[in-house]
Chain A
Amino acid sequence: MQQEVVLALLAKEPSHGYELRARLGQALGPLGDSMNAGQIYVTLTRLEKAGLVSSERSAGLADRPDRKVYELTAAGQQRVAGWLAEVSWPRPDLTEFHLKLIAAAAAGLADPVAIVDAQRRELLRRLREAQRAAMAEPDGSAAGLLLEGIVLRLQADLRWLEACERNWTTRRKQS
């Protein structure tokens, strides 16, 4: 489980481990069924070791990760803010972006529509670059083929981002 996602989920308020798991499950729907239940607790432990979250044992309960209450540290908050503003797109990871939007909305840290817009702009710039490189290649070159593939994927991603924008704009209107 991507670390930043878990951090962002804690941004709203301190929560129990199992609460976090529940919220993730809700956000992912049927896709969450394939999620490894224990992954989140492993990530939480790592984050605690890295000093990004702190935990407290709930009074009267055993010392188990799902029963602990986790909270963001100052460093953790910084990390979350940085992550929200990031527009890198290292490999098409729809899930991470999707959760980013949900976390941002839930924590009230940023406007999901603004995040989508910013990502769109970045992808458009990359599309332009890839396209130009593709057209500069001679017909039938191998590199050209790869570049064409990149262009098409970016186009597909952009289409999804448009859908995200529509979806989140509607949600914003309803709320």
Chain B
Amino acid sequence: MGRLALIGRLAVRDLRRRPAQAGLLLIAIMAATTTLTLALALHGVTSHPYQRTRAATAGPDLVAEYGPAGAGQATGRPVPPDARPLIHAPAVTGHSGPFLAASVTLRSRGIAVNVVAEGRGAGRVPVDQPLVTSGTWVRPGQVVLERTLATALGVRPGDKVTLDGRPFTVAGTAVTAALTPFPNMCEAGCMMSGGGPGPGLAWVTPATARALAAPGGWIYLLSLRLADPARAAALAASYGHNRSLTPRASLLIPWQSVRSADGLLVADEQSVLEPGSWLLGLLALATVAVLTGGRMAEQTQRVGRLKAAGGTPGLVAAVLLAENLALALLAAALGLLFGWLAAPLLTSPGAGLVGAPGGPSLTPLTVGLVAALALAVALVATLVPALRAARTSTVAALADAARPPRRRRALVAVTRRLPAPLLIGLRLAGRRPRRLVLSMASATVTAAGIDAVLAFHAMTDAHQVAAASGLANPVAIRDGQVLAVLTVALVALSGLNAVVTTWATVLDTRHSAALTRALGATQGQVSAGLSAAQLIAALPGVLLGIPAGLLLYKLANGSGQLVTPPAWWLASAAAGMLAAVALLAVVSARAGSRTPVADVLQAETA
């Protein structure tokens, strides 16, 4: 027990003595835990807003869509369907409609979009009564837009739009649970849309709907309430087969498929955040490993002091492990907090759903997974140096023979023939080959992330071209935002990793670098050399990241097809990364070698 208390005390004292390093470790792990929290918090969030919308608008359990069919219908005026068989079906307990809806082109400020305009009167109906969220309900000469559509167009109550060329004023915006909001609204009206994003939804007066209904461009919508809403999908299937109940071309949409379509937006974000958090987790691992490895080397030199207090290298390792685990737990807690606070930003998906999602719930599972990630990162990163230190005999540690650089004959022979900066840099960095491998791995992870993002943008660009409606897909916009945040986090963490690695190398090779300068190298040559070594380590990683990133995108996207980004995008990303690595290395090298040569050589013996 006393030993544990000692470890605890030493750990706290050590953390207090090195606040900057502790802070770096914390930030590194926090990046991963926050992202994971966000990813996990998105689970189960989607159902809340949909349920609220359903409750607020008396959402239907089943929507029947009657399209034009039969001779004469395709060209003639709209004819109301005979909905009585369906209305009087035993399982149906309530209905509203059928309402005529015309397919029109809405134009606003130069943007044109397909819209299904449903004709509704001023009175309230028992099932599917849209809830007005701004402005007022529709009156003659006016149109009410579904909220997502209005947001996508940037239209507000009072603005003027045209439907099929005829001018209307926007009376307000409203939400409904009957159909999925723009642009996913392909459950209904897919027959009419010719591909691309689904049409939007709007409401006009019944007279306007009749006036707008063009030959072949109209449907009738019937909303039904069921005795047993849970059976909506089964009933939709059975009614669909029963021609007597549902004559004419018609479509039955159960409310569950609307709910899941709603959730697609959030699901998309999840598919981005989850792999993103693993990437960040890997980077955090590499950063922590380098930081800890460097600390281990310093600590072993101070074993003498601990030895006076009765310590051994094993104790040192235990202290370091304790510190890192404590920091990891703190990072997990902070990640959970920030993730919980930030989640609402991501989970107000459809403006088409009512209200903010009631805060993602932090289930015990989420807390457990996030904590596990943090602890795993800390443990794995600390374990290797800790084990090595534990196995070092105290005598060797005191003689500071722990981890002396091994003679690398091949490296020496090769670097002899290179110009001075490369000779210096490769020999200095080559003293710790494992660290170089970590650098390469980090570069691979970062490049993979960035290239996956580029693949995503390539795909959305291709789709933009295809849609040609001038209107961006809000799903894509939201995904793009999330990806932007993720990319920034990735780049920042990767930059941190580069700085930490170079700094650790500088500290580790301080004596050799000072000696090399005493023998005639300039500070510029040493910095250039260290930078070149980092670059050489990063290059294969960056190149590997290209196929890795595209593979990652394919895996994350599932069904979506892969559009290879243009070569110059990938090349510039790679060049940018390498330039950043080089710059960070130079800056770190300069910062770390400010001490005059004489002082370094005096302080350390041969």
State if A and B touch, Cβ cutoff 8 Å.
no
A residues contacting B by CB (< 8 A) are none
